[in-house]
Structure 1
Amino acid sequence: MQTTHTTTSVAATSSLVRRIIAASWKPVLFTVLLWLSAAAGEIPIPGTPVPITLQTFVVMLAGLMLTWRQAGSALALYIAAGAIGLPVFAGGASTMALVGPSAGFIFGFLPGVVVIALLRGKADTSSAAHAALTTVRYLFAAIIGGVAVVYAFGFLVQSALTGASIAAVAMASLGFVAGDIVKAAVAAVATTGLTKLSR
């Protein structure tokens, strides 16, 4: 009887560990991708202290490829890593980036990725027409969550920290917005293609 109980307990523990690993490897992977996208380099934009990186692209991919819980976990883990001092933000920054001009954008990644994941809907690549509709839905979700939500946070915080008006911050960020719309289109097409290949 004791052996049966022990065997059942070991099997339950093993099953729990497998479920935890299955649920957490994707958020950890996207956390690492966010760090790599920040470490890969940055392009400065004149008139704004916030550089262009590939981080918003990775945020969009996370929202389009993961459940909202997994996507939210990936961003929460990324922000937490920076908060404890790991150099995961643009330019190798860590904790101080969370109180600097980029802070609103960094914090905006979390609600942005959740919005993307909730808006994207279910992929349907059974025909060219359905795949096109899926891509359009993905693009809409990426623009709303990855651009509108992230920038709303970014503009508000940057305006508060720099004393510039929200309109002035928005004007200085037009280069970012255009680039992120292109990133949203690439993320939508790539995710639809990957979904089709995985069928």
Structure 2
Amino acid sequence: MSKWSLRGLIFSALFAGVMVALSSMKVNLPFSTVPITLQTLAVMLAGSVLGARFGSLAVLIVLGLAAAGFPVMAGRGGVSVLVGPTAGFIWAFPVAAFAIGWCAERWGQGKGSFLKLLAINFVFGALLVYPSGVVWLAHSVDGLDTVSKALVAGFWPFLPGDLTKAVLCASVVSAVYKVYPIERIVGRRERGWLEGDKSSVRS
């Protein structure tokens, strides 16, 4: 299978649609400009199911649509979304999807798949997003002039939900792998190389 397969591109487009749909489900918080959404769940699913390249591509498609003005980020669109208070989180999404996919391709399957995917998604799908998100939030919003205020507005209230999303993603994807392994997307040539299985590499 080629590095950029038609199958992978189609799945990237489909998961971009999933991200748009999930991002529309949001809960606004009275003490923060950052809403609770299912965007991070979509990022976790994209990286875990599609791998590094196609998972990050799915997220980049959504960002491109948002930049073009389509209301694909929690019902909003336009460049203002990509430079607004939540931009630090948004721009970390492709990086998170790539990191999740990179790890999932190498370690996500096999024995203990659920626990491995849970750790991968919580670390890279949640914790990795917060540094840039919280720093940009503090920079963009007046009144967040201390670390504690920035953490309350953009970190602490979201951790339980992100852990729940990681659990849900790991449960779904570990089941998906049993019928649709990740090498169906990333390609058997790459998968065999990653595992060091020379016999699976075909010329």
CA contact (8 A) 1:116 1:141 kept: yes
Give 2:7's match in structure 1, choosing from 22, 25, 33.
22
CA contact (8 A) 2:52 2:102 kept: yes
CA contact (8 A) 2:26 2:74 kept: yes
Give 1:31's match in structure 2, choosing from 16, 31, 34.
16
Mapped to 2, the partners of 1:80 and 1:110 lie a distance apart of 12
Give 1:158's aligned residue. 137
**Deviation digits for residues 110-153 of structure 1 (CA, Å, limit 9, x no counterpart):** 1111111122334444xxxx2xx111110111011111111122
Mapped to 2, the partners of 1:166 and 1:99 lie a distance apart of 21
Give 2:152's aligned residue. 171
SS of match in other structure, 1:46: coil
Structure exhibiting the larger radius of gyration computed from Cα positions = 1
Higher-helix-fraction structure: 1
CA contact (8 A) 1:156 1:166 kept: no
Q: Which sits farther off after the overlay, 20-29 or 161-170?
A: 161-170
Report matched runs for 1:28-177 at 5 Å: 28-39=13-24, 41-120=25-104, 121-125=106-110, 130=111, 133-163=112-142, 164=144, 165-172=146-153, 173-177=155-159
Amino acid of the structure 2 residue aligned with 1:143: F
Give 2:196's aligned residue. none
CA contact (8 A) 1:117 1:141 kept: no
Q: Which sits farther off after the overlay, 162-171 or 172-181?
A: 162-171
Amino acid of the structure 1 residue aligned with 2:55: A
Shift, 1:21, TM fit: 2.5
Mapped to 1, the partners of 2:172 and 2:127 lie a distance apart of 21
Mapped to 2, the partners of 1:198 and 1:31 lie a distance apart of 19
How does the TM-score come out when normalised to structure 1?
Answer: 0.81
Mapped to 2, the partners of 1:33 and 1:77 lie a distance apart of 12
Mapped to 2, the partners of 1:198 and 1:106 lie a distance apart of 29
How does the TM-score come out when normalised to structure 2?
Answer: 0.79
Amino acid of the structure 2 residue aligned with 1:58: A
Cα distance change of structure 1 residues 118 and 124 upon mapping to structure 2, 3 Å threshold = closer
Q: Structure 1 stretches of 5 or more lacking a match?
A: 1-14
Mapped to 1, the partners of 2:16 and 2:150 lie a distance apart of 28
Amino acid of the structure 1 residue aligned with 2:65: A
SS of match in other structure, 2:12: helix
Shift, 1:51, TM fit: 0.7
Q: Structure 2 stretches of 5 or more lacking a match?
A: 182-203
Mapped to 1, the partners of 2:165 and 2:89 lie a distance apart of 16
Amino acid of the structure 1 residue aligned with 2:131: A
